[in-house]
Amino acid sequence: MSKIKSFRPLLLAMAFLFTSAMPNWTTVAKAAPSLTSDFKQLSSSQIVSAMGAGWNLGNQLEANNNGTPSETAWGNPTVTQALIQKVKAAGFKTIRIPVSYLKAIGSAPNYTIDPTWLSRVKQVVDYAYSQGLYVIINMHGDGYKSVSGSWLICDSSDQATIKTKYQKAWQQIANTFVNYNEHLIFESMNEEFDGTYGTPNTTYYSNINAYNQIFVDTVRQTGGNNSARWLLIPGWNTNIDYTAGNYGFALPKDTYRSSTVPSSEKRIMISVHYYSPWDFCGEESGNITQWGATATNTSKKSTWGQEDYLNSEFKSMYDKFVTQGYPVVIGEYGSVDKTSADSTNNTYRAAFAKAVCSTAKKYGSVPVYWDNGYNSQYGFGLFNRSNNTVTQQGIINAIMSGINGN
């Protein structure tokens, strides 16, 4: 002990000489990219108001041919700027662009996304972004076991590989769009779950929570506008009850966000979908074709999922998240065309859409209609993508009426 003390003056002198000769790392370290001048810091209420009513470019960039992304593989034509302009002209302010990567992601360790595919994704994003629309892009079909090439599987035994691949993929996507302003929103994934309906498995749910945390950390750490933009995350299968209820959903920590974001504000949104009652919204039969208080044939109306249920579901998301500063995005909703079974069906499809939008507005949420491009029996289409015409003006009118409080 005494020897150590005797060397202290010499050690202090050496330390002084060493540190005085070192550069000032605070000045020579490369500064993180700053926000671009056109990036606007929008609060939760401001972003919801600005996003208005949304529309999904469904069954396009998430389509695939045996696991290889292909926007025409599921029967829709190549996406054009003219289509997006038509959607904007109809009154929509937000476009959600589902994207699958699947076999377009290369092998370990870099997991490089096929640059041709990523370039096409960027081009379609630009169709909407250049029009001043809000744009949501996600990782869509990569988590479906039923999709060839899927890999983002929450009940897989090899979670370490999945998480590394997921981080590398989102890092590339985030860097591609780093300079886009607040009009671009990243959504971590789509209807992620183990494929079984019912109470979520807590272990698999924890893996979904981990994906969301990796997503937030990865995007934020790419810097620039990504450090402050709004990010959208889902719970179990984008199910309202399993997200708002006590089933294991965990909000990710936003550790790396920009210091320019006011400490009292959030930059994370919650994604859920709404297709209730399913026998009206999605079941491919002519049994249930009417919905709501104006239904004229009770035998054609579901026994559940009417206005009171819709209100309680959206209110539960409001109470759990919106009141805490986390906006809710109803990333998908809609009902299929059953006019072949009931000529009055479109009246009730419009009533349903209006009710979803007006209730979303009431509870501070953004409704985004699911359009898969199909306009025949059991299709969700509002537009004909081949000639860029409106096919369901009545439903569009109902959506705009609902979101505008008319």
Of 182, 187, 192, 332, which is the active-site residue? 332
Give the whole-angstrom CA distance, residue 308 versus residue 348.
16
pLDDT along the chain (406 residues), means of 10: 33 37 37 83 98 98 98 98 98 98 98 98 98 98 96 98 98 98 98 96 98 98 98 98 98 97 96 98 98 98 98 98 98 98 98 98 98 97 98 98 94
Contacts of 111 (CB under 8 A, 6+ apart): 105, 164, 165, 168, 169
What does the pLDDT read at residue 143? 97
Q: Which CATH superfamily is domain 42-403 in?
A: Glycosidases (3.20.20.80)
Residue 323 CB neighbours (<10 A) = 11
Give the whole-angstrom CA distance, residue 282 versus residue 275.
7
Query: Per DSSP, what are the bridge partners of residue 134?
Result: 94
Token reading at 54: 């949304």
- Evaluate whether 275 touches 313 at the Cβ level (below 8 Å): no
- Is 332 in the active site? yes
Give the whole-angstrom CA distance, residue 286 versus residue 361.
31
Three-state SS for 108-137 is CCCCCECHHHHHHHHHHHHHHHCCCCEEEE
- Evaluate whether 356 touches 403 at the Cβ level (below 8 Å): no
What does the pLDDT read at residue 33? 64
- Evaluate whether 54 touches 367 at the Cβ level (below 8 Å): yes
Tell whether omega for the bond before 277 is within 30 degrees of 0, i.e. cis: yes
Torsion of CA 383, 375, 343, 390, to 10 degrees: 10
Query: Per DSSP, what are the bridge partners of residue 68?
Result: 65
- Is 191 in the active site? yes
Give the whole-angstrom CA distance, residue 116 versus residue 122.
10
Query: Per DSSP, what are the bridge partners of residue 332?
Result: 273
Token reading at 383: 């537009």
CA-based end-to-end distance of the chain? 83
Element (H, E) at 67: none
What does the pLDDT read at residue 14? 37
Burial class (CB in 10 A: 0-12, 13-18, 19+), 294: exposed
Of 62, 71, 182, 191, which is the active-site residue? 191
